[in-house]
Structure 1
Amino acid sequence: MVRSLVSLCAREVVSDESSSPCWLRWVPRELYRPLLEAAFASSRPLAVGELVQRWPERSLRVGGRKKQGQTAPSRLCIQALLLAVVRGLSDHNALQLLDLCGLRGDEGGMGDSMGGWSLTVALCTMVVQARAGLQRAQRREGERERKRFSALEREKDVKRERGKWKRGKEANGDEGSAESEELGGNNTDNMGVFGMLGEEEMMTGVRRRMEMERKREIGVGGSGKEVEERDVNSDVLVYVRADLFVNARSWERVRVALSTPGPLKLQCRYLRVEEISVSRIRALLDLLPHQGLLGIDVRYSNLGVAGLAELLPLLSNFPVLNSVRLHYCNLDFRRDLPGQEEALRELSLALAKLQGLQRLSLTALRLPGQLRVLLSLPKALEILELPYLSLSPADLAYLSCSHHASSLQQLDLSENRLNENTLPSIRRLLSQASGTLQHLSLSGCGLTDSLLGLLLPSLGGCLALKSLALGLNPLSMAGLKDLVRMAARMPSLRHLLYPNPLEDYQPGLPELPSSAQLLDWPLD
């Protein structure tokens, strides 16, 4: 990749971090962005902090899609960024929106980047620290206000005593005209000073009364919550948008950060939760702003059918939500248990209220025969992921005839066993999606040479297909050759995942091995 002259010069400028306070005063605002990118690329946390603390624009976006060859910012640079945002609050810089959506490295990887879990904890700490800093500033301001009020009270007492002394003197007639004039001139000057102090005191009293009236309004009736929300938002100086990763260890920190009023307000684009109960997920959703949440990803949480039926109606409060992902949430549907049918109907009604849903991912939910209920959506899906779902022939038949089939761009049916009975439904589904389907995964579906041979014409008709995954299927070398010949004729295909041929395994492999056996069996 050829770098521009501005990029090369920016790298040279930020290379000497000790001089950044000197040259920043001369930098025009249009060069802040390339300098910040150079500071991230060169891992210069001091330069990052100086630039962000003086950021001249209303918004700052760090993250999103990476350019070719671009790496995630280092942990030190991200920490410097967050610290500079808090410091910039007192400097009254122009920043009003910090967008960190998509900013995350590989958690636990070899690099020094900050993963999504660590970034979430750091953001919550930043929000709480900003609130604590504001409280300290308010205490200092209150102490100064108290001292000013005490000075006014003392001046008022002095004025009262002098007035009494003057009236006593006039009553006794002890003062001469010259002395009276002199004293009168001094009193005039003093009255001017006292008048100015009295005016300042009056302004302070008016502010105090307004504050007391505002607090009384907040505490009255049902409209108090609306007043309080308006007051909280009026105190916000910078909105922070990010993808939040929440588990059992970080849940309390995230809850405190979302419910803490202050100069920084945390907003969420995508929410991913793991190993959290339904009640805690519900509490998080109640705290999130309704505008802006695009997706929710729930993993390894013991929801059950009843828990999911309780959770899904809450998602209809988020008007732009377009992605719901549920992975390993223990949804084992059993008709012999009381209340299961009713919970399933509630689940279907809740899903139907998600008007903007474009992506639905359901992994290992064990709901055979219930796909019609799960896909009763008003709008056709573009991404449908159903791995490990134990799909029945009736499920696949419904999917092939549903309104989703002709709109699918990505389809994952991995680890759903296919056979001669389900193959016609798969071929019909591929025919319906031939003009739109770009990504298809049929890994671990038990496709043999004969089944694949029947399926290849339908696969070849998907002219928009860019990636095809057929791993962990029991195919011989002859079947793989037929697959490769078909793939070579597909104009858009860029990625093909194929299994090891059966000839590569050591002897003893069953005649029709499962995907788990193919994964564990030693190769020759």
Structure 2
Amino acid sequence: MVLSLVTLCARELVSDHCSSQCWLSCVPRELYRALLDAAFSRCCPLAVGELVQRWPERTLTVGGSRKAGECPPNRLCVQALLLAVVRGLTDKRCCLQMLDLSGLQCEDRRVDSMGGWSLSVALCSMVLQARSAASRAHRRDGERERKRGLEAESDQGTIKRDRGNVGCGNSGEGSQGGHRVEEVEKRKSRTNERMFPGNESVKGDRRGMEIQRRKTLSEAKSNSSSNNSSLCYHDWEEVVVVHVRADLFVNSRSWERVRDSLSQPGPLRLHCRYLCVEELSAPSIASLLGLLPQQDLLGVDIRYSSLGASGLAMLLPLLAPFPQLHSLRLHYCNLDLERTQPDQQGALQDMSKGLGSLKRLNRLCLTALRLPGHLHLLLSSLSQPLEVLELPYLCLTSTDMAYLSCSQHAPFLRELDLSENWLDESSLPSLRHLLAQAESSLRQLSLCGCGLSDTLLGALLPYLSCCRALRSLRLALNPLSRTGLLSLARTVAGIPSLHLLLYPNPLEEYEPGLPALPSSAQLLDWPLLEESEGRDLTLRLLDEILNLRGRSQDLLVTSDLLNYSPDLTVDD
């Protein structure tokens, strides 16, 4: 990759932190983006903090989709960015109003990056820290204003007393005139005492009335100032300086912190794009949904939460007020319909209605919910066709496959995952019809662990070859022989759009003792032959097929379940 001159110069600048005070004061605003990218790539957290604290634009986007091979931001740089956002609230040079951190998290533990869970905690801590700092600053400003007011009142009283003294001094001429005035006043007072014996009580009443009037005015002023300060305080609570948009990952340990950051107002306002919750109860998830801004949420991912049919029936209607919501993923939510439970059918009806209320839903994932024979009940309530449908470990029956192949969703599917659903000859016609319906739209297909033998796969190959938009095909943990695998390779090599084939190890590469038609669990646990001759032969035959079709460069063929590149499965 050839780097531009701007990028090279930016890297040199940010690497020398001692000179930052020189160039930060004169660098044009158009170069801040290049400098920040260089600070992230060179892992310079001090430079990241200084640039973000005085960010000259209204919007700052960090994260998003990364190119293949591009490393995510370093953990220290992300922490420096969050601290700088808080400091920038009091920096007049900072113009930041929208901070977009969507997609910033990274779950690759091989690099020193920040995962989704730790990033969410750091974001919430930043929001609470900014609110505490703003509250302290507001209290300090209020105390200063109060002291200024008291000093102003004191100065005003002093001026009035000075004016009175000056007026008395000017009534006579010199000191003698002053003594004469005092003597005259004394005579008048003695005369008044003789003529009006009750004058002392009159003066006392007037003095008391004056004191009471001043006390009433003072109380009115104090009440007015307290009301104004209270009003200003509530107005300050509603002022949002920076809006922060991010993906939130919440579990039982971080739930309270996330709830506090969303419920307490302050200068930073947190907006959630994708919400992923793990090991939370239905009421906790419901309270979290009630705090999220409704216009921002695009997807919800619920994992490992014991919700059951009743919990899902309660939560799904709560997602209806989010107008942009298009993705719903439910993983291992303890919904087992193979065991009969009280009011099970009513809960399923409520779930169906809840799914039907999600008007923009086009991505649905139901993992390990074990819903044999109920797919029609759930999917028929959707108002628009699904583009992404993931149904792994769902115990699908031939009836479910028949419904799916004829449903409104089949012609629009871009991604389909039927992994770990046992497919036999009874479901084969429906699967072939489904592939025929989705041949122009299907880009990702996963049939891992479906029990596809050479015979079943051979019946599917003509329909797979017609899927001209297919980019990724995953068939791991299926009981194929080497002959069946080579037949598969010849077929998929003729699909010009295909970039990834995840194939199963052929049965010839396993230790002896496997049953005739092993399950995916048996194939996963059964040891492979220690000798590499069988694997070398398979790789050599696959290379010959790819070279013959001219696909050795642009088609990745692998049996590695853990280390194949997920970037190849992403749409262009």
TM-score (norm 2): 0.81
Q: Partners in 1 of 2:440 and 2:126 — Cα distance?
A: 48
Q: Partners in 2 of 1:436 and 1:74 — Cα distance?
A: 38
2:419 matches 1:414: yes
2:283 matches 1:275: no
Report the residue type matching 2:482 in the other structure. M
5 Å matches for 1:222-233?
A: 231=235
Q: What is aligned with 1:313? A: 317
CA gap 1:56/1:214 in 2 versus in 1, 3 angstroms:
closer
Superposition deviation, residue 209 in structure 1: 4.6
The number of residues matched between the two structures is: 486
Superposition deviation, residue 68 in structure 1: 3.8
Equivalent residues of 1:334, 1:340 under 8 A apart: no
Superposition deviation, residue 13 in structure 1: 1.3
2:99 matches 1:94: no
Q: Partners in 2 of 1:334 and 1:459 — Cα distance?
A: 32
Q: What is aligned with 2:532? A: none
Q: What secondary structure sits across from 1:26 in the alignment?
A: coil
Equivalent residues of 1:21, 1:50 under 8 A apart: no
CA gap 1:204/1:70 in 2 versus in 1, 3 angstroms:
farther
5 Å matches for 1:371-450?
A: 371-375=375-379, 376-450=381-455
Aligned partner of 1:455 among 453, 457, 460: 460
CA gap 1:517/1:232 in 2 versus in 1, 3 angstroms:
farther
Superposition deviation, residue 166 in structure 1: 6.0
CA gap 1:414/1:337 in 2 versus in 1, 3 angstroms:
same
Q: What is aligned with 2:520? A: 515
Equivalent residues of 1:232, 1:261 under 8 A apart: no
Equivalent residues of 1:335, 1:341 under 8 A apart: no
Q: What is aligned with 1:151? A: 151
Q: What is aligned with 1:58? A: 58
Equivalent residues of 2:249, 2:277 under 8 A apart: yes
Q: Could you tell which deviates more after superposition, 143-152 or 505-514?
A: 143-152
Q: Partners in 2 of 1:34 and 1:179 — Cα distance?
A: 83
Equivalent residues of 1:305, 1:343 under 8 A apart: yes
Superposition deviation, residue 258 in structure 1: 0.8
Q: What is aligned with 1:35? A: 35
2:352 matches 1:356: no
CA gap 1:513/1:495 in 2 versus in 1, 3 angstroms:
same
CA gap 1:117/1:426 in 2 versus in 1, 3 angstroms:
same
Q: Partners in 2 of 1:163 and 1:338 — Cα distance?
A: 90
Q: What secondary structure sits across from 1:90 in the alignment?
A: coil
Equivalent residues of 1:400, 1:432 under 8 A apart: yes
Q: Partners in 2 of 1:203 and 1:425 — Cα distance?
A: 82
Q: What is aligned with 1:247? A: 251
CA gap 1:396/1:57 in 2 versus in 1, 3 angstroms:
same
Superposition deviation, residue 259 in structure 1: 1.1
Report the residue type matching 1:279 in the other structure. P
Superposition deviation, residue 116 in structure 1: 0.9
Equivalent residues of 2:373, 2:396 under 8 A apart: yes
Superposition deviation, residue 334 in structure 1: 5.7
Q: What secondary structure sits across from 1:98 in the alignment?
A: strand
Aligned partner of 1:284 among 284, 288, 295: 288
Superposition deviation, residue 22 in structure 1: 1.5
2:496 matches 1:491: yes
Q: Partners in 1 of 2:140 and 2:237 — Cα distance?
A: 23
Q: Partners in 1 of 2:266 and 2:500 — Cα distance?
A: 48
Q: Partners in 1 of 2:445 and 2:145 — Cα distance?
A: 67
Equivalent residues of 1:285, 1:314 under 8 A apart: yes
Q: What is aligned with 1:325? A: 329
Aligned partner of 1:469 among 474, 478, 481: 474
Report the residue type matching 2:277 in the other structure. V
Report the residue type matching 1:239 in the other structure. H
Q: Partners in 1 of 2:52 and 2:142 — Cα distance?
A: 30
Q: Partners in 1 of 2:440 and 2:466 — Cα distance?
A: 9
Report the residue type matching 1:158 in the other structure. T
Q: Partners in 2 of 1:29 and 1:341 — Cα distance?
A: 61
Q: Partners in 2 of 1:379 and 1:21 — Cα distance?
A: 56
Report the residue type matching 1:416 in the other structure. N
Superposition deviation, residue 152 in structure 1: 2.1
After superposition, the C-alpha distances for 1:254-296 in whole angstroms (9 at most, x for unaligned) are: 1111112111111100000100111111111001000110001
Q: What secondary structure sits across from 1:91 in the alignment?
A: coil
CA gap 1:176/1:312 in 2 versus in 1, 3 angstroms:
same
Superposition deviation, residue 208 in structure 1: 5.6
Q: Partners in 1 of 2:241 and 2:111 — Cα distance?
A: 33
CA gap 1:206/1:55 in 2 versus in 1, 3 angstroms:
farther
2:28 matches 1:23: no
Report the residue type matching 2:364 in the other structure. L
Q: What secondary structure sits across from 2:25 in the alignment?
A: helix
Q: Could you tell which deviates more after superposition, 155-164 or 474-483?
A: 155-164
Equivalent residues of 2:338, 2:370 under 8 A apart: no
After superposition, the C-alpha distances for 1:115-152 in whole angstroms (9 at most, x for unaligned) are: 11111111111111101110110121122112112212
2:307 matches 1:303: yes
Q: Partners in 1 of 2:299 and 2:396 — Cα distance?
A: 25
Q: Partners in 1 of 2:278 and 2:285 — Cα distance?
A: 10
Q: Could you tell which deviates more after superposition, 246-255 or 329-338?
A: 329-338
After superposition, the C-alpha distances for 1:98-127 in whole angstroms (9 at most, x for unaligned) are: 0000001225x1221111111111111111
Q: Partners in 2 of 1:360 and 1:211 — Cα distance?
A: 50
Q: Partners in 1 of 2:85 and 2:105 — Cα distance?
A: 18
Q: What is aligned with 2:545? A: none
Q: What is aligned with 1:265? A: 269
Superposition deviation, residue 160 in structure 1: 4.7
CA gap 1:50/1:211 in 2 versus in 1, 3 angstroms:
same
Q: Partners in 2 of 1:79 and 1:487 — Cα distance?
A: 46
Q: What is aligned with 1:193? A: none
Q: Partners in 1 of 2:76 and 2:121 — Cα distance?
A: 15
Q: Partners in 2 of 1:146 and 1:179 — Cα distance?
A: 44
CA gap 1:337/1:43 in 2 versus in 1, 3 angstroms:
same
Superposition deviation, residue 446 in structure 1: 0.3
After superposition, the C-alpha distances for 1:462-506 in whole angstroms (9 at most, x for unaligned) are: 111111001000011111111011111111111001101111111
After superposition, the C-alpha distances for 1:53-111 in whole angstroms (9 at most, x for unaligned) are: 1110000000011124321111111111111111110013110000000001225x122
Equivalent residues of 2:338, 2:372 under 8 A apart: no
Report the residue type matching 1:103 in the other structure. L
Q: Partners in 2 of 1:438 and 1:334 — Cα distance?
A: 32
Q: What is aligned with 1:135? A: 135
Q: What secondary structure sits across from 2:90 in the alignment?
A: helix
CA gap 1:373/1:175 in 2 versus in 1, 3 angstroms:
farther
Q: What secondary structure sits across from 1:144 in the alignment?
A: helix
Superposition deviation, residue 203 in structure 1: 11
Report the residue type matching 1:121 in the other structure. V
Q: Partners in 2 of 1:207 and 1:378 — Cα distance?
A: 57
Q: What is aligned with 2:556? A: none
TM-score (norm 1): 0.89
Equivalent residues of 1:269, 1:294 under 8 A apart: yes
Equivalent residues of 2:238, 2:265 under 8 A apart: no
After superposition, the C-alpha distances for 1:29-50 in whole angstroms (9 at most, x for unaligned) are: 1100011000100001111111
Structure 1 spans left out of the alignment, 5+ residues? 181-201, 216-227
Superposition deviation, residue 153 in structure 1: 2.7
Q: Partners in 2 of 1:309 and 1:442 — Cα distance?
A: 29
Equivalent residues of 1:327, 1:363 under 8 A apart: yes
Superposition deviation, residue 431 in structure 1: 0.3
